[in-house]
Structure 1
């Protein structure tokens, strides 16, 4: 059972990745993201997840610097944007992200979307493998990859992705993908676990939360952890960043886990990874 904010899971290459981190999607670069990162680290977070397309890597890097925490105590993730896919462009984009973050290496680097219409994610993966072999990133993975994208990738890959970061919340639970990734030793990670706040007034989650003295957000985050998903809820408010991590003093019962599983509609809130972008 996950017991603290610093608890980790072991990826298939032996790297330890924290179960809970701070996501910074749609957090403005500059003071907003700097303060969010500093608040998270101050309250014990050791995992920060950003991406090139978020356009806040510089602020994330500044927040890390100002926090005063030792680099080796943190787990920093960034992601390659769609327009940078391809072998040489991936290598260049990685160096750009690293420079913006002000870091010597990344802990995890992900292909943000498969964009199958481009037909480039396999050569992109070759570049990711090169970065990994050179020690510039401790783990590599993908984001928003469905089973058939992974099948295609694994046909030629030397290295199986360590992580697949996907849309996952009570309304969209991806059970087939979960089974697939478990078979291949790929750790799943939830983005938008709170469905961008759309689930915070859900009566089922409120009812469950009342039993434990917890909010719907805390119930969802606890459910993620008990489901074996790494999770990265986003907030810019310090009190919410703190509250999102107050999930270690209770455990959802099997009955309550089942109630949440019954909420699955199988419908995405966001776009399908097979759509062009």
Structure 2
């Protein structure tokens, strides 16, 4: 590792596949973006993968275990204060960002929500888009209005699934957590097709399990701009860790 590289802390485990996949994605992106060709040129990463954190969706939707989740998120962040900056590989868990910030005690935090919204806003400015932004994510993320409120603050309209189709999207996400990726793809495709049929031209993939669903043989509809929150965060992490950009430049 070059001495100028920054040490990256990752709060993962929600679910465990997403955290591991994110680390692998960082490896590939460091090769592609920073021409890393030997061990020492890759990033120093500390992954705090804790799948024991209580169900975030239950906490947001039904108020079950809220105090537990807050305490667990704070503890996960506190384990990474030796890092130069920290990211959280779970969109829904950003609902509990105040607890994360308490645990970090001043260590810098790079939000997946801020990274994604900055890219969406830049896209709208570049192409002059005016249609609502579609959001597909976990039910807790939707109920907690994690992306909706962020879009509203930027003066942007959004489109979300109705309750029945949101439940189908959640089923696909849980299938990934069970290791049933092919079944997840079958469940997810009609939901995606429905959103596109409603005229949505910009879609935020706001769950870190969704990239696992759409990789390889999954055919995405044409004419739609997709914003993969996990991929965008990985790109941002490499840029910050390699001192190509600051957190402020990436999220503004």
- Write 1 or 2 for the structure with the bigger share of helix: 2
Q: TM-score, normalization: structure 1?
A: 0.32
Flag the structure with more relative contact order, 1 or 2, with Cα contacts below 8 A and sequence separation at least 6.
2
